[in-house]
Structure 1
Amino acid sequence: MRTLHSAELLLPGPGSAPVPDGAVLVEGDRIAALGPFTELAESHPHARARRWPGLLTPGLLVRGADELLERTYYPDDPYEVTELGADPISGEAALEELKMTEARWGNSARRGTQKLLARGVVAVTGRFTVPAVRTAVVRSGLTILPPAASGPTPPSLDPLAGRETAGQAFYGVLEPGAPARFAVFAVADETALLERGATTCVATVISGRLLHRRR
């Protein structure tokens, strides 16, 4: 089954020109073609069409995900919010009070990976030492990369935090034959994406699968 994902502006990645009213044709887990929507829709009339608002870009990369998922606890909403609040919990003393177990870390990591997917993240760096956490990350579909050098800011759920350009957070480029791994944001262009942040994400696709959608 072929799927045609289109947006008001397609940004394939560094070195490639933006494509107004652009589209990405996905076949299986790969990109089959990309270009103007009208051209691809005409040449592939039987492809399922998904029209998105805003900007379609390569998916984003988060560094230091081991700190975000193994040293940060995400309360279970709504069951723990009254007692713990809705904000992520970190810090050795606070986590010690929670009496964390591996199973609880795994459940927290699942909630954390959902937050990453909801921000257009497709890949993370880090060394995961808690088996349940690593399992949660693998099952989420996120690509795991080796630990990277520390960035200018502490690890953040928003991979655009501390970046000078949005492109610095892109993972890979969009081109025929490349993995179908991209995100769509409800913004007009790359500058607006950097200003408003990754919470503007409306869709995240990994291996051709729509793993996050917000309309």
Structure 2
Amino acid sequence: MLTLHTADLLVTAAGAVPLAGGAVLVEGDRISRVGPYEDLAVAYPHARARRWPGLLTPGMLVRSGEELLERTYYPDDPYEVTELGGEPITGTALDDLKLTEARWGHSARRGTQKLLARGVVAVAGRFTVPAVRTAVVRSGLTVVPPAGGAATGAAASLDPFAGRTAAAEAYHGSLEPGAPARFAAFAVPDEASLLAEGATTCVATVIGGRLLHRRR
């Protein structure tokens, strides 16, 4: 099936000139065409159209994957929130939880959903807990090795823009014909607003041509 994703502004890669009314045509798990929505809609009249508000960009890469998913516990809402609260648990507080591998796996699934809700399509890290590794793979997120130039001592964050000076620094890949169909849409008018307002403005995340997150 052909799907045409469009937004008010399309950014295909870091440093690329934004295209007003741009669109990405997806066939299967790949990008088939990129260009003005009006042109692609005429050329492919049977494609299903998905219109997103704001900005359409490559998906995001988040750093410190092990810290986020193997050393942070996300309480199960609503079942554990009364006892544990709703905030992620880290550090020595984890000792009191006596977590099993299965619980780490469940927590990682909740963590990956939080990442998808922030436009994240890839995570840097090396996962050693089998249940966590399985949760990451099943989520659709791409796992990449930690970057040698990553900042040391920086706190791990679900926000891919944490510690960045420009939104484009978090982009993973580019949107071009033949590339994997992984991108995100944010309810902001431009890249500067995206950095300022943050990744929680995400309204949709697509990986492998599948819509894995959509804000309700």
**TM-score normalised by structure 2 residue count:** 0.97
Corresponding pairs, count: 214
Tell me the residue number matched to 2:160. 159
- Secondary structure at the aligned position of 1:9 is classed as strand
Distance 1:147 1:12 in 2: 24
What does residue 191 of structure 1 align with?
192
Name the aligned partner's letter for residue 158 of structure 1.
D
RMSD across aligned positions (CA): 0.9
Structure 2: how far apart are the matches of 1:76 and 1:106?
A: 12
| Percent of pairs with identical residues | 73
Alignment of 1:1-215 (within 5 A): 1-91=1-91, 93-149=92-148, 150-151=150-151, 153-215=154-216
Structure 1 residues 124 and 151: alpha-carbon distance in aligned structure 2, compared to 1, 3 A threshold: same
Q: Secondary structure at the match of 2:53?
A: coil
Deviations 1:69-119 (A, max 9, x none): 00000000000111100000000x211100010000000000000000000
How far 1:161 sits from its partner (Å)? 1.1
- Structure 2: 5+ residue stretches without partners: none
- For the Cα contact (< 8 Å) 1:64–1:148, is it kept in 2? no
Distance in 2 (alpha carbons) for counterparts of 1:204 and 1:14: 18
- 1-structure distance, mates of 2:179, 2:4: 15
Runs of 4+ off more than 3 Å: none
| TM-score for the superposition, normalised by structure 1 | 0.98
Instruction: Tell me how far 1:61 sits from its aligned partner.
Output: 0.1
Q: Aligned letter for 1:121? A: V
Whole-Å separation in 1 of the counterparts to 2:157 and 2:147: 14
Give the distance between the partners of 2:158 and 2:209, measured in 1 at CA.
23
